[in-house]
Chains A and B, each alone.
Chain A
Amino acid sequence: MGTEKIPSSVVQFALADRLINIGRANSFWPLTFGIACCAIEMMATGCARFDMSRFGAEVFRPSARQSDVMIVAGTITKKMMPGIKTLYDQMPEPKWVMALGNCAISGGPFAFEGQYSIILGADQFLPVDVYIPGCPPRPEALLQGIIELEHLVSDWKRWKNPEAA
């Protein structure tokens, strides 16, 4: 799973691993995979006002082989699901998944009785690390999700928690 620190071979270099994880956390390369409305907020986050580039994550790679975060932005239908699973399998380790928006979390506004065509949430078939609720979530929420993922990946925090202080 993407949340555990992957042990290298017999010899463990704890400090080097920590440094590498900090590097990973500060340079996520998302996969350009916008499905529906949430994709627009993802693109707006990448642009000048909200600027994902401050966190190192503006490099959207079209190819799954070059990315390490899959931001599932939009409703997943049964027709699309094999494609998403293929893309996830094509990503090299370590990889993480963020479920952006209510549809990717649990089907969103389209989960109702009589539904025949959507999958109720990305976690039905993918291991999701961060859930970002909203319909669509504000770009600031996506940035918060990236920061949460940074905390998951490395134990280095960007700033202290206000409650802890």
Chain B
Amino acid sequence: MNAPILLQPDETFILNVGPQHPATHGVLRVKMEMSGEYIVNAETVIGYIHRMHEKMGELKTYPQFLMNLSRMDYLGALGYSHCHVLVVEKASGIVVPERAEYIRAIMVELNRIASHLFWFGAFVMDLGGFSPLMYALQDREHILDMLEAVTGSRLTYCYFRFGGLYNDIDDDFIAAARRFIPRMRKSLKKYKALVTGNIIFRKRLEGIAPLTPEMCRKYGASSAVARGSGINFDVRRNEPYSVYPEFDFDIPVYHECDSLARYMVRMDEIEQSLRIVEQGLDKLPGGPIMPDKKPKIIKPPAGDYYQAVETARGSFGVRLVSDGGKNPYRLKLRSPTYSNMHLFDEACRGMMIMDALAFMGSLDLVIPEIDR
């Protein structure tokens, strides 16, 4: 008779949550050293979708780079493009007409709602519930239809230009957006009943993966990761840009520090984005969408410039080092998911693997944004 092989109390094995895995939301690899169900150590390996956006930033001219930002984070693409056009406009001194800024804000907020809806569906799917994905993507299709009618793309928009936009919105868009807002509010009630109040869902997330505010500070976490730990930080409030000072909206902050807090922050953010869209449509001024005077070739003066915006995933920053030429000298993209993902290694020690995957889902990862 063969002797059974038993794991000794101090013995561990390496489990590879590989680049191809339904729960990793892309090509992310986590090498976990496990002792039974518990994680002793974890090491994240990234770089499987490193497409060198920063090198392309140096080799392409400013207008040629506009398309890259949508591919970086495809779920909330307009927020990222917004940051890039803002920093180049700031550096070159291009003044954006007010109507263009309002339309930009409306589009970015609609895109934020679409991104949160997709995250919501994928997150609940990670935990095992397949139906909310169908409902969430159905709502998202309404937003995509609206955005497609104006920008021409469903997912990877290239809509903003330096100085404004390339296509104006029409009455159809405004009517569709006004119809969408009460519809989305009804859907939020449905999600609250279906998911947030679900006892299994709550038991899986309450008390899981507490992140202290000090840890968030050491890693530079932002968005729901920081706001679920009681840190009241939102770039739209702390460092206002564009027309956000004109809008009246709240920043949801929860103090429980667990995965459920991060989930609730994002669900409340959808409601706040709906408020911003409503106010944007009410206050929309008339006028042109591109400035009268704009340099033909964009050549910001030499120096370095920084702009941060609040995207669906956190504080995204673009650091532009210019030498006065047609191409940027150095274009650094500060990705929020990079900083958010970094604390996974330290935070998941001692957790069970199923809790660690729920934690990963609550961080809202988009891997091409980490790898750039």
| Contact call A35/B49, Cβ cutoff below 8 A | yes
Q: From known contacts A37-B74, A62-B21, A79-B47, infer whether A117 and B137 are also in contact, taking CB-CB under 8 Å.
A: no
> Is A98's beta carbon under 8 Å from chain B?
no
Interface residue stretch chosen among A9-17, A107-115, A124-132, A156-164: A107-115
> Is B71's beta carbon under 8 Å from chain A?
yes
> Is A28's beta carbon under 8 Å from chain B?
no
| Contact call A114/B47, Cβ cutoff below 8 A | no
Question: 21 A-B Cβ contacts within 8 A?
Answer: A33-B20, A35-B27, A36-B71, A36-B74, A37-B74, A37-B156, A39-B26, A40-B75, A44-B137, A47-B134, A47-B137, A48-B138, A49-B137, A60-B22, A74-B49, A83-B20, A109-B68, A113-B59, A116-B52, A117-B52, A136-B74
Of the candidates A41, A62, A115, which one forms a contact with B154 in the assembled complex, judged by CB atoms under 8 Å apart? A41
| Contact call B118/A37, Cβ cutoff below 8 A | no
Interfacial residues, chain A to chain B (CB-CB below 8 A): 31-37, 39-41, 43-44, 47-49, 60, 62, 64, 74-75, 77, 79-80, 83, 87, 109-110, 112-118, 135-136, 138
B27: A residues at CB distance < 8 A: 35, 80
Q: How far is the CA of A12 from the CA of B47 in the complex (A)?
A: 49
**Residues B25-59 near A (CB distance < 8 A):** 26-27, 47-52, 55-56, 59
Q: How far is the CA of A135 from the CA of B156 in the complex (A)?
A: 8
Number of interface residues of B (CB under 8 A): 31
Closest residue to A115 on the B side, CB-wise? B52
| Contact call A37/B155, Cβ cutoff below 8 A | yes
Q: How far is the CA of A102 from the CA of B55 in the complex (A)?
A: 20
Q: From known contacts A40-B75, A77-B51, infer whether A49 and B19 are also in contact, taking CB-CB under 8 Å.
A: no
Closest residue to A50 on the B side, CB-wise? B141
Cβ distance A43 to chain B, nearest Cβ, rounded Å:
7
> Is B195's beta carbon under 8 Å from chain A?
no
Q: How far is the CA of A75 from the CA of B48 in the complex (A)?
A: 10
Cβ distance A65 to chain B, nearest Cβ, rounded Å:
12
Contact indicator per residue, chain B 140-167, by CB within 8 Å of chain A (1) or not (0): 0100000000000011100000000000
Q: From known contacts A36-B74, A37-B71, infer whether A75 and B51 are also in contact, taking CB-CB under 8 Å.
A: yes
A60: B residues at CB distance < 8 A: 22
| Contact call B137/A79, Cβ cutoff below 8 A | no
A41: B residues at CB distance < 8 A: 154-155
Q: How far is the CA of A89 from the CA of B223 in the complex (A)?
A: 41
> Is B169's beta carbon under 8 Å from chain A?
no
Q: From known contacts A79-B50, A114-B55, infer whether A47 and B19 are also in contact, taking CB-CB under 8 Å.
A: no
> Is B357's beta carbon under 8 Å from chain A?
no
Of the candidates A32, A77, A109, A115, which one forms a contact with B49 in the assembled complex, judged by CB atoms under 8 Å apart? A77
| Contact call B137/A32, Cβ cutoff below 8 A | no
Q: From known contacts A37-B156, A77-B51, A109-B71, infer whether A49 and B20 are also in contact, taking CB-CB under 8 Å.
A: no
